[in-house]
Every structure is written in C-alpha cells, then in structure tokens.
Amino acid sequence: MKKRITSIILLLAIITATFGLAGCSKAEDKESDDKTIVVGAGITPHAEILEQVKDVLAQEGYTLEIVEYNDYVLPNTALNDGELDANYFQHQPYLDDFNQENKTNMVSAASIHFEPFGIYAGKTSSISDLAEGAKVAIPNDTSNEARALLLLEAQGLITLKKDAGLTATVLDIEENPLNLEIEEIEAAQIARALSDVDIACINGNYAIQGGLSVSDALAVESADSLAASTYANILAVNAGHENDEKIQALVKALQSEEVRKFIQDNYDGAVVPVF
C-alpha cells in the first residue's frame, strides 16, 4: 500500500511539474510576443524607414522584425491571418477597398508619409508631344486607378464624369480628345512596362524601385493637395489592436524627428512625411 501511495505521489508531482513548465513556457512565449513587432512592408521606402527605428525600439525592449513584400495583396492577407502585427505599405482608400472586397477588418494606427503619384515618360518624352492613340499605363486596383485618372485629368488629357472622384474608373472617362489607349496594369509592374507605353502613372514607391526620381516626372501630385492627406501611407493593424502598447511604441518611433529627417534627406521629394 505504501509503495502504491508513493507511486501516486510521484506521478502527481511529475504531472504538476510538467504543467508548471508548460505554463512557464506559455507565459514566456506571450512575453516574447509582446516584445516582438512583426511588420510587413513595401521594400522601398517602407522597409527602409522601418530600419531606422530598430535601435530606438530595441532600447525600449522591443524587437522589430521586418517582412518585405513586393505586391499589394499578401501583406494584408498576412496581417488578417495574424502572421503580422502590422503592415506599412498602403494608403487608406486602398485599405478601405481591400476590407470591403475581402470582408476583413483592418484599420489605420497612424499616417506616416505621402508618396506623390507621378506621370513618367515612356516612348513619349513630354505630355505635349502625345499623339493620337498614345498608350498610357495606369494601376489596375480601384483606388490607385482613380488617382491616376485624376492626375491625367489635371493635365487636361481626359475629362471624368462630374462625381467620379476617388472611385473613378476608365468607364467614367467622358472626354478623351487624343483617344488615349488606357492600359490597366498591376501597380508593381508599371515601371517595367515604361518602354512599351508612351507615358505611365506610377506610385511613388514603385517609381523609386524602378530607378525613377520625382524630378523625372512629367507631372506630380502637389504635396498640399487633397491627395496628400487622402493617400498618406499608413501603419495598418487588425481592428482592436491600434492601442496595443507595442503598436503605440512603433507609431511613436515612426513619427519621430529622426525619421522625418531621414525621409527628407534620402528621397528627394518622392516621399514626404505627413506627421
């Protein structure tokens, strides 16, 4: 009987110890998660900007992990699936469209910078030299397509329906005096397609990746325009996590004077801080 009782006591002790260790492990994992910030980012300028705050966050006990993406879908999918704590690559209109189309619930934690959208020369070196039927490349996603069309309208190349605004598509073009051939292309691929079109409307980050400078553009959005506030690039998180301690630490680091100076010194006007 004594041997049996002793065996039971030993078994209980082992079980208690095992669960105790498991509990410690889970607590340690949670603490590690709370101190690790995994952010999905566009390669340029987003990941480059994030690199500038790694040391600042480290001093506060946080480890910043940057996952680079070269498209506009995967970083939102990964954030929604919980693989990321945040992402930094998009503006609010794009996020709104993505949420609506995919029934996701991601929100902005902060606005960081604005990338002036530009018209760049391909086969034709100036807007005034565009011929009848010239090819014009624009992004094929809803929010950036509208932005491109508004910029083309501002240059007098097309006229859009009166209330088209930020939801404009090629179907909203009312007047097209030169019968421009509008080609809708995935945003990340447009810079590579420049040699195949006469002009192209390119997002600031993809222009930089394509070796273009804002000074090369034939026309750009004004930094004090409605676009500057509407299309500011944001730090996005899943709804309910905006005020998480680590997210707020990241926001504070990104909206610092050091980051402002880095942006102003390194992107020649192609990236403009909005904080």
**Residue 167 shares a structural domain with residue 109:** no
- In this structure, are residues 152 and 119 in contact, taking their beta carbons and an 8 Å threshold? yes
pTM passes above 0.75: no
Tell me how crowded residue 46 is: count the other CB atoms within 10 A of its CB: 27
Percent of the chain's residues with pLDDT above 90: 73
pLDDT band at 228 (very low <50, low <70, confident <90, very high): confident
DSSP 44: I
103 and 196 within one domain: no
Instruction: State yes or no: pLDDT of 35 exceeds 60.
Output: yes
Q: Treating both helix axes as pointing N-terminal to C-terminal, what angle do 245-254 and 2-35 enclose, rounded to 10 degrees?
A: 20
The residues with which 119 forms a beta bridge, in sequence order, are: 201, 219
Q: Is the pLDDT at 166 greater than 80, yes or no?
A: yes
Confidence category of residue 28, pLDDT binned at 50, 70, 90:
very low
Q: Is the pLDDT of residue 256 over 50?
A: yes
Q: Report the number of distinct structural domains present in the chain.
A: 2
> What's residue 223's pLDDT?
67
Q: Are residue 155 and residue 78 in the same domain, yes or no?
A: no
The CATH code of the domain that includes 213 is 3.40.190.10
Contact present, 173 and 149 (Cβ < 8 Å): yes
CA-closest candidate to residue 114, choices 131, 91, 84: 91
Q: Which range marks the domain in which residue 183 is found?
A: 118-220
Confidence of residue 3 (pLDDT cuts 50, 70, 90): very low
pLDDT of residue 165: 85
Contacts of residue 179, Cβ cutoff 8 Å, sequence gap at least 6: 132, 133
